[in-house]
Amino acid sequence: MNKIIISQINTIAGDISFNKEKILECIKKAKNQKADLIIFPELALIGYPFGDIFIRHKSIIERELKALNDIAKNTENITALVGFAEPTKDANKKPFYNSVAVIQNGKIIDTVRKRLLPNYSEFNDYRYFEPSDKVSKILELNGEKFGILVCEDSFNDKSFFKDKCIYKIDPVKELMEQKPQTLINCSCSPSRCGKEYIKNGLFSSIAKKYKVNYIYVNQAGYADNLCFDGASRIYNTNGELTLRAKSFEEDFVITDNFQGEINPLPEGSDKKFELIDLKSDYEKDLDRTYKSIIFGIREYFRKNGFKKAVLGLSGGLDSSICAVLLSDALGKENVWGISMPSRITSKESKNDAKLLAENLGINFFEIPLADAIDPLKSMLNTAFTNIETEKFEKSTTIENLQARLRATLLWSISNEHKQMLPIATSDKSEAYIGYATVNGDMSGGFAPIADVTKTKLFALGDFLNKNRAHKNAIPQAILEKPPGAELKINPKTGKTVCAEEENMPYEFLDEIIWNVETKGYGFDELIKHEFYYEKNNNLSIEQKKEWINKFYWKSKCAVYKWHIIPPSVVVDVKSINSVEYRQPIISKVN
Amino acid sequence: MNKIIISQINTIAGDISFNKEKILECIKKAKNQKADLIIFPELALIGYPFGDIFIRHKSIIERELKALNDIAKNTENITALVGFAEPTKDANKKPFYNSVAVIQNGKIIDTVRKRLLPNYSEFNDYRYFEPSDKVSKILELNGEKFGILVCEDSFNDKSFFKDKCIYKIDPVKELMEQKPQTLINCSCSPSRCGKEYIKNGLFSSIAKKYKVNYIYVNQAGYADNLCFDGASRIYNTNGELTLRAKSFEEDFVITDNFQGEINPLPEGSDKKFELIDLKSDYEKDLDRTYKSIIFGIREYFRKNGFKKAVLGLSGGLDSSICAVLLSDALGKENVWGISMPSRITSKESKNDAKLLAENLGINFFEIPLADAIDPLKSMLNTAFTNIETEKFEKSTTIENLQARLRATLLWSISNEHKQMLPIATSDKSEAYIGYATVNGDMSGGFAPIADVTKTKLFALGDFLNKNRAHKNAIPQAILEKPPGAELKINPKTGKTVCAEEENMPYEFLDEIIWNVETKGYGFDELIKHEFYYEKNNNLSIEQKKEWINKFYWKSKCAVYKWHIIPPSVVVDVKSINSVEYRQPIISKVN
């Protein structure tokens, strides 16, 4: 049997010399191990996703091809599968094939070209790649036959996807006619809620159906809001999982019998989502969400040369969760939590923020805002008297001013200190309906929880309190009080206004979002749909209609904000992150 | 001969009922005129670009198809060509064809499907559409034969594009085998620098080559950073332009002999760009740039329910040009220019800002910043003493603080007043190298000049002073002084630091940008290239290298900022606007 290496590397888009050195290093290590075959992920040499960079920076492609030749020179006595962008050299075609070079003893003996090109959601393959219309050749190695696939090529199995197959051909089926004993899938597959369940089921069923060993090699890394979770693996001819590399980190795994260590996945990753109960579905995804975001923060900071983060700590849920995630990703000594209370911030909130920071061991101090707000208010009064045009009756001006002043301080602090980024703490539920302040809580160099809804954040808070080494780091009060930015006082109650009073219950809002994103429900379907919140709370149909209308109206006005969300980590099944979802600002959906 | 109507309408993506009413209105008008044929632009019924909205809002498609049937019912005694998204109803295909319904006497008698699907630059057709692999049928009307094309179908003519043809087939050639006397092209074609020259040459040469009348119907409108300029037209069988609708507005043009009024294009639109001389090329494009931006502002505001704009007036070039454009787009009474001087703002700048506002007749007042900056500085000092980590030697903190405070005031003012948007005044040269402040001059609800380079802005200033009814509205001093944000004092000179001291001469920077964008030059090619600035200024090779290196280093760090540029108007040949160009933030290009 061949000795095979799964080389689950972490590359940088366009950084040919970095990627090449990493590949060469792995090949050297593999040769030391007397391996027969080393497998790299899809597009390993140019890095994925590389976007449009080759259009303005043509030399990247020349350098890539040169690097591929340099790699070839280092393959005596070994076969290497290296993903690269292969120029089509045909003006009538897309610029590249998405190819895997089969390199052996100093020569590129074959190139396997991707046949199925995904162009939905976060994928844009057809913008760059020409699909191959040929069944690829089989690689014979020491009497063993390998069929090679590139990522999506494996995702059109009729027995598994049934009527959801989106392509006409099934490259696996066509490849299997040549009777390989083993299939190899070179991939760059981002982690998302529910995806692991599909991948595991699909690969296992293909292995079993064709009685073939199935080797899946995925990139580990983060780029452009996407986390690639690694977790490369092997299924045997019975469809059983026999080896799995680490999740969310690089790995270099050797096997000579299609078996090896089965590293754990984040808890719940391989569970099925029923799409019927929001809360229990969220709970299944908490560990993966946590690990994705931690990895995303760490990679974004590291690859862009940052080490430290500064964020405002309000004593509320969003900023508290962000603080835990940043502390776990960057180290507590690299996080500065700053309490910036205004006159209406409650004593409890201030204490909760402080207690959280103490529990985490992050840096913490307080800057009261009042002294800066007062002169700004008087400036604004001057401005307002100078502008004779219609005003809003209920002004959010002063509320937003506080949020913007806080962000200004955070940006100033990051400006002054090396390798430091300010953090946007706004969450997905709020972004969805525009309840996040431009240049305020939605402004920062990174937005850790921009794809996590509020109800999921509450569950994540509980999860973190139970599962981190330091139990209950988040004060219980933070997980129990109703969310609200403490930006204004309700004159009737004398208390700060909570967000649900202004919008709608988060449980209801998140259930709308879930149904719109995963089921494509429109207004009529939402009205017909029986919400969990409805069942449990005796909701009137008038109230339900009002909230659903509010959702449409508010989310229409929020699309502008979706377009300027800072870099984040996509974790949900679907997202409003522009890496995946594109709604024109000028548009009408209902 | 048939009486033909070119119906150059302005639609809204996803707003089926609005678009349908508009189409019905035009058909009614056409019937009153006893027209035989009325032609609408590509995707007129669903609106273009509609992005991903149909994925989450499936009911849009049902409503679209219903609307198409309603339209059909209103076509007795007339033929209408209506662009729409036609579901493929085949899971193995993309969701839609990009189709034109041929409707006649109450029935949809044919659907012509787009064959060539652009997926480069601002186009993403292949994300949504299945290409048609059939030559479309000829429409016979009163003995006259019409061949129907959808936009890109006309853009693969070998005699015109030579080796730059990017598709294998030429739908025009194939269609012409059926010998139509007239070609109709239903389009949604955005206006960009140099594009008119290509379109005019292409359509004219096709008409002449095949001895066919050529009718081009383009949408007028703005969506998602793109301006659709209308300017629908007819070329006769000699390739001569015989009719042209208005630019940048809706139009309804009747002809019964392929002739009619030839409305003027923005000056210089049809000139060729040589790509060898930056300045003279810029000058050719000023009128079109001006009209595109004016139209873009007006449409963005109108379609989103805004009427008024507030911007900071620094007495510098960027804000002055923005003020003129806003005033011309929205009316002077709807623009508030606010001078927000700090302690180091020169008297001259303050006077220039005031004089500009007076010349334009826009609303104007002053808010001195000092009173707010001082308490913020002391807050920051407290913060800085609490943070024990490495600082930058040259801090830009206080400079940026001023810019952010200004934006905070503008956002607050827009918060307080109905239908008002704050304006981001940063330009393309500065955005390219990150010399624009996050939450400062690059923050706003709209960014009028985000795709205009600094040297082009100087030329645009001259152009506006010469060509607007009110001559020389921009004080000459603004067009003569070196650009700089007046954010800090050079201790050596005692004067405020100008931008070119910190970066490089704008002429040089803009020439780099031009060569990278239009020629795809990399580092080596830029070094080899003889810059105009170089010829005229005795530049040393060391200095040249330093500046080019600085460009790469700074633009790499600026990619984050490109991702959060507010809605704008794409006007240049190429742009860093994410509607067109996608560079991952984590990437390396050099």
Cα–Cα dist B569/B447, whole Å: 8
Inter-chain contact B588–A404, Cβ cutoff 8 Å?
no
Report the domain count for chain A. 2
Q: Please report whether residue A93 resides in a domain.
A: yes
> Which chain B residues are closer than 8 Å to A59 by Cβ?
522-524
> Which chain A residues are closer than 8 Å to B517 by Cβ?
56
Rounded to the nearest angstrom, the minimum Cα separation between A398 and chain B is 8
Query: Which class for B162: exposed (0-12), middle (13-18), buried (19 or more C-beta within 10 A)?
Result: exposed
Same domain, A240 and A286: no
What does the pLDDT read at residue A172? 98
Chain B residue closest in CA terms to A567: B560
Long-range contacts of B524-527 (CB under 8 A, 24+ apart): B524/A59
What does the pLDDT read at residue A417? 96
Is the pLDDT reported for residue B232 higher than 80?
yes
Is the pLDDT reported for residue B379 higher than 70?
yes
Cα–Cα dist B574/A47, whole Å: 24
Question: How confident is the model over B516-526, as a mean pLDDT?
Answer: 90
Contacts of B381 by beta carbon, 8 Å cutoff, 6+ apart = none
Inter-chain contact A587–B53, Cβ cutoff 8 Å?
yes
Question: How confident is the model over B559-570, as a mean pLDDT?
Answer: 96
Q: Express as a percent the part of chain A with pLDDT over 90.
A: 86
Is the pLDDT reported for residue B414 higher than 90?
yes
Rounded to the nearest angstrom, the minimum Cα separation between B202 and chain A is 18
Q: What is the CATH number of the domain that holds A483?
A: 3.40.50.620
Listed residue (A71, A57, A22, A23) closest to B522, CA to CA: A57
Is residue B102 helix, strand or coil? strand
Within an 8 Å CB–CB cutoff, is residue A300 touching chain B? Answer: yes
Give the residue from A22, A57, A340 with the most B CB atoms within 10 Å of its CB, the best one to mutate.
A57
What does the pLDDT read at residue A273? 80
Within an 8 Å CB–CB cutoff, is residue B276 touching chain A? Answer: no
Question: How confident is the model over A26-49, as a mean pLDDT?
Answer: 98
Question: How confident is the model over A540-566, as a mean pLDDT?
Answer: 96
Q: Please report whether residue A31 resides in a domain.
A: yes
Within an 8 Å CB–CB cutoff, is residue A528 touching chain B? Answer: no
Within an 8 Å CB–CB cutoff, is residue B56 touching chain A? Answer: yes
Question: How confident is the model over B572-580, as a mean pLDDT?
Answer: 94
Q: Please report whether residue A578 resides in a domain.
A: no
Same domain, B225 and B312: no
Rounded to the nearest angstrom, the minimum Cα separation between B463 and chain A is 30
Within an 8 Å CB–CB cutoff, is residue B530 touching chain A? Answer: no
Rounded to the nearest angstrom, the minimum Cα separation between B3 and chain A is 34
One-letter amino acid for residue A308 of the chain: K
What does the pLDDT read at residue B519? 86
Q: Which domain holds residue A116?
A: 4-255
Question: How confident is the model over B498-511, as a mean pLDDT?
Answer: 89
| Boundary (domain end) residue, out of B436, B471, B504 | B504
Active-site residue, from B20, B22, B114, B428: B114
Rounded to the nearest angstrom, the minimum Cα separation between A397 and chain B is 5
Inter-chain contact A587–B13, Cβ cutoff 8 Å?
yes
What does the pLDDT read at residue B485? 63
Same domain, A321 and A207: no
B186 - beta bridge partners? B150, B217
Is the pLDDT reported for residue B564 higher than 80?
yes
Mean pLDDT across chain A: 94
Within an 8 Å CB–CB cutoff, is residue A538 touching chain B? Answer: no
Same domain, A80 and A45: yes
Listed residue (B468, B432, B465) closest to B450, CA to CA: B432
Question: How confident is the model over A207-216, as a mean pLDDT?
Answer: 98
pTM here is 0.96
Cα–Cα dist B186/B48, whole Å: 12
What does the pLDDT read at residue A276? 67
Q: pLDDT digits over A157-178, tens only?
A: 999 999 999 999 999 999 999 9
Listed residue (A13, A122, A42) closest to A572, CA to CA: A122
Q: pLDDT digits over B146-173, tens only?
A: 999 999 999 999 999 999 999 999 999 9
Active-site residue, from B42, B486, B507, B580: B42
Q: Express as a percent the part of chain A with pLDDT over 70.
A: 99
Same domain, B282 and B187: no
Give the residue from A124, A162, A392, A412 with the most B CB atoms within 10 Å of its CB, the best one to mutate.
A412
- Whether B227 sits among the annotated catalytic residues: the reply is no
Active-site residue, from B20, B22, B86, B151: B151
Q: Please report whether residue A271 resides in a domain.
A: no
Confidence of residue B276 (pLDDT cuts 50, 70, 90): low
Cα–Cα dist A74/A27, whole Å: 8
Q: Please report whether residue B264 resides in a domain.
A: no
Rounded to the nearest angstrom, the minimum Cα separation between B52 and chain A is 5
Question: Which 8-state DSSP code applies to residue A220?
Answer: E
What does the pLDDT read at residue B589? 86
Question: How confident is the model over A336-349, as a mean pLDDT?
Answer: 92
Backbone angles phi, psi at A518, to 5 degrees: -95, -25
Inter-chain contact B566–A566, Cβ cutoff 8 Å?
no
> Which chain B residues are closer than 8 Å to A366 by Cβ?
none
Cα–Cα dist A29/A251, whole Å: 12
A141 - beta bridge partners? A144
Strands A308-312 and A335-339: parallel
Q: pLDDT digits over A525-536, tens only?
A: 999 999 989 988
Number of C-alpha atoms within 13 angstroms, CB side, residue B99? 26
| Boundary (domain end) residue, out of B504, B539, B566 | B504
Contacts of A263 by beta carbon, 8 Å cutoff, 6+ apart = A231, A244, A245, A246, A247, A251
Q: pLDDT digits over B387-402, tens only?
A: 999 999 877 898 899 9
Confidence of residue A485 (pLDDT cuts 50, 70, 90): low
Listed residue (A485, A133, A135) closest to A340, CA to CA: A485
Give the residue from B426, B438, B569 with the most A CB atoms within 10 Å of its CB, the best one to mutate.
B438
Q: pLDDT digits over A47-101, tens only?
A: 999 999 998 888 999 999 999 999 999 999 999 999 999 999 999 999 999 999 9
Q: Express as a percent the part of chain B with pLDDT over 90.
A: 86
Residue A370: both structure tokens together: 């009042």
Within an 8 Å CB–CB cutoff, is residue A166 touching chain B? Answer: yes
What does the pLDDT read at residue A274? 76
Same domain, A217 and A309: no
Same domain, B191 and B339: no
- Whether A498 sits among the annotated catalytic residues: the reply is no
Question: Which A positions 346-375 lie with beta carbon below 8 A of chain B?
Answer: 363, 365, 367, 371-372, 375
Chain A residue closest in CA terms to B366: A383
Mean pLDDT across chain B: 94
Query: Which element (helix H / strand E) includes A112?
Result: strand A107-113
Confidence of residue B24 (pLDDT cuts 50, 70, 90): very high
Q: What is the CATH number of the domain that holds A16?
A: 3.60.110.10
Residue A357: both structure tokens together: 């920071």
What does the pLDDT read at residue A490? 75
Within an 8 Å CB–CB cutoff, is residue A222 touching chain B? Answer: yes
Please name the member of B58, B223, B389 whose beta carbon is closest to the beta carbon of A584: B223
> Which chain A residues are closer than 8 Å to B576 by Cβ?
none
What does the pLDDT read at residue A56? 87
Within an 8 Å CB–CB cutoff, is residue B162 touching chain A? Answer: no
Rounded to the nearest angstrom, the minimum Cα separation between A362 and chain B is 12
Q: pLDDT digits over A346-372, tens only?
A: 899 999 999 999 999 999 999 999 888
Active-site residue, from A26, A130, A151, A454: A151
Chain B residue closest in CA terms to A371: B375
Is the pLDDT reported for residue B270 higher than 90?
no
Within an 8 Å CB–CB cutoff, is residue A124 touching chain B? Answer: yes
Q: Are A103 and A65 in contact (CB under 8 A)?
A: no
The interface predicted TM-score (ipTM) is 0.95
Confidence of residue B274 (pLDDT cuts 50, 70, 90): confident
What does the pLDDT read at residue B501? 81
Active-site residue, from A20, A26, A42, A284: A42
Chains A, B: CB pairs < 8 Å: 308
Inter-chain contact B372–A375, Cβ cutoff 8 Å?
yes
Same domain, A349 and A382: yes
Same domain, A17 and A104: yes
Inter-chain contact B409–A223, Cβ cutoff 8 Å?
no
Inter-chain contact A587–B14, Cβ cutoff 8 Å?
yes
Question: How confident is the model over B53-77, as a mean pLDDT?
Answer: 95
| Boundary (domain end) residue, out of B504, B530, B564 | B504
Question: How confident is the model over A239-246, as a mean pLDDT?
Answer: 98
Within an 8 Å CB–CB cutoff, is residue B576 touching chain A? Answer: no
Same domain, A235 and A357: no
Inter-chain contact A392–B163, Cβ cutoff 8 Å?
no
Chain B residue closest in CA terms to A565: B564
Within an 8 Å CB–CB cutoff, is residue A158 touching chain B? Answer: no
Q: Please report whether residue A272 resides in a domain.
A: no
Rounded to the nearest angstrom, the minimum Cα separation between B520 and chain A is 4
Give the residue from A524, A578, A582 with the most B CB atoms within 10 Å of its CB, the best one to mutate.
A582
Q: Please report whether residue A538 resides in a domain.
A: yes
- Whether A525 sits among the annotated catalytic residues: the reply is no
What does the pLDDT read at residue B389? 94
Question: How confident is the model over B424-445, as a mean pLDDT?
Answer: 96
Same domain, B106 and B14: yes
Rounded to the nearest angstrom, the minimum Cα separation between B139 and chain A is 29
Is the pLDDT reported for residue B1 higher than 70?
yes
Backbone angles phi, psi at A253, to 5 degrees: -115, 130
Which stretch of A488-492, B326-330, B480-484 has the lowest confidence by average pLDDT? A488-492
Listed residue (A488, A495, A483, A482) closest to A396, CA to CA: A488
Q: Please report whether residue B421 resides in a domain.
A: yes
Same domain, A335 and A240: no
